[in-house]
Amino acid sequence: MLDLKIINGNVFIPGSGFFNLEVGIKDGKVAVLGDSKDMPEASETVDAGGNIVMPGVIDPHIHLGIFGEFAMECEHETRAALAGGVTSAGVFMGGGESYLPQLGSLIETVEQKASADLFFHLSIFTDEQMDEMDECYKQFGVTSFKFYMAGVKGVFPGVTDGFIYEGFKKVASMGDRAIACTHCEDQSVIDIAFDKVAKEKPNGTLADWSETGPNMAEEEAIMRACYLAEQAGNRLYIVHISTKDGADRFALLRKNENCRVYGETTSAYLSVNKHDPFGLLGKMLPPLRDQADTDGLWENVRQDNIDTFGTDNVSMTKAVKQAEAGMLGAMPGYPILQTHLPAILTEGYHKRNVPIETILTKATMNPAKIYGLFPQKGTIAVGSDADIVILDLNKERVVRADELFSYGDFSLYEGKTLTGWPSVVVKSGKVAYKDDKIIVEPGTGSYLRRTL
């Protein structure tokens, strides 16, 4: 007897295609894939109504606990994630302290509060943190480490190429399932650009803010990061590529087979730009760009030069965002998890005819493979976790922030129609989201320990 079966679905298996199969689930795992005649009885049946049945989306890039308490954000933002079809997410952790004394209780919080599964990437700023990378793996199953080529002005500094090279060698020594991530912007270029904009246009617009991070600063840093990874011999993942120039350059660099690099862009860079009406609510690092950048990023998605889609979600309320404090005073970041998949489908599939297989593979299997979660995650196969989305590809919905699950009270898509929304989300074998309601309790999500 199965716990759950999903019938009448067009099942998407990344790398293989679409199949008319039923999915049988038991004990949180996919137990059977087959025709209705092969399918045992189940205590619960969900009729997909001919819609796509796909693996849960993996958002490899979110932040929790920056502007709100970690536990609170863990609870609320993973519910927003689930409602958007995101069943697993990678959380970038930061700060200058040793991670070893912190990780145990953070993982406990995830197990108690999260509704989606979470894994951690550790940002490495100090020698102490670098020395403890092996131990963070042994005790807590962390296999990904981030290096900021540029910091956030007034918050934390970036690290030098020498430090990054040492860190990359350390990642290389951990083996081929370990990976380094880099935020690619050249510190000196953006410092000069920032000072100029801050002086000349202190009350600037979002378009002026964009000038604080020139495109070439990203492109140049991507070149350096790829070079350092080639020298150190580690796998490298470039987070949030935001410019056409950066993506085009990355496409050339990855042709070098001595360089094992993966690239991410975000749903925001793929769907909104610096001229959009939300103004300074869109302040971000790296900044939102031009329409030409969005177009260039999509072209690179289509050509398979970009591997994954993240959100870089940083939730906060409008009161904390302080858009009214002006270009310099407003905080960077926005809540965007629940609209991640719909925004990508609207811009990529509906507006640009990017093949649905391309989009869904980059949203599911690719991040699972890159971060050592495959085939537990990122596919629908016997034995894989039953994290499954029934996707209504043509469902239109006007975005209203007050109807979304984030505790953040604004959306970059406010009043816009996005097309392509999850109708049902199954998490760990249970129907978790249906009819715009979350029907599981906090703690349904787990911490994902990874192995080398």
Q: Residue holding tokens 């862009």?
A: 265
Whole-angstrom distance, CA of residue 399 vs CA of residue 122: 33
Cβ nearer to Zn ion, comparing 151 with 429: 151
Cβ nearer to Zn ion, comparing 312 with 387: 312
Q: Residue holding tokens 């690719």?
A: 366
List residues near Zn ion by CB under 5 A: 312
Q: Look at residue 416 and give its three-state secondary structure.
A: coil
Question: In whole angstroms, how close is the CB of 240 to Zn ion at the nearest point?
Answer: 6
Question: Is the preceding peptide bond at 375 cis, omega within 30 degrees of 0?
Answer: yes
Q: Which residues contact 240 (CB under 8 A, 6 or more apart)?
A: 61, 183, 264, 265, 266, 269, 286, 310, 312
Instruction: State the DSSP code for 315.
Output: -
Question: In whole angstroms, how close is the CB of 394 to Zn ion at the nearest point?
Answer: 32
Cβ nearer to Zn ion, comparing 230 with 312: 312
Cβ nearer to Zn ion, comparing 121 with 369: 121
Q: Where are the alpha helices (DSSP H) in 177-325?
A: 187-200, 206-210, 215-232, 244-253, 291-302, 318-321
Among 325, 318, 340, 338, smallest CA distance to 408 is for 318
Cβ nearer to Zn ion, comparing 4 with 89: 89
Cβ nearer to Zn ion, comparing 125 with 433: 125
Question: In whole angstroms, how close is the CB of 90 to Zn ion at the nearest point?
Answer: 10
Cβ nearer to Zn ion, comparing 321 with 416: 321
The residue sitting closest to Zn ion, measured at its beta carbon, is 312
Residue 279: what are its φ and ψ, rounded to 5°?
Answer: 60, -135
Q: What is the largest CA-CA distance in the chain?
A: 71
What's the token pair of residue 393?
């590809």
Question: In whole angstroms, how close is the CB of 377 to Zn ion at the nearest point?
Answer: 20
Question: In whole angstroms, how close is the CB of 67 to Zn ion at the nearest point?
Answer: 13
Question: In whole angstroms, how close is the CB of 92 to Zn ion at the nearest point?
Answer: 5
Radius of gyration, alpha carbons of the chain: 21
Question: In whole angstroms, how close is the CB of 313 to Zn ion at the nearest point?
Answer: 8
Q: Look at residue 280 and give its three-state secondary structure.
A: helix
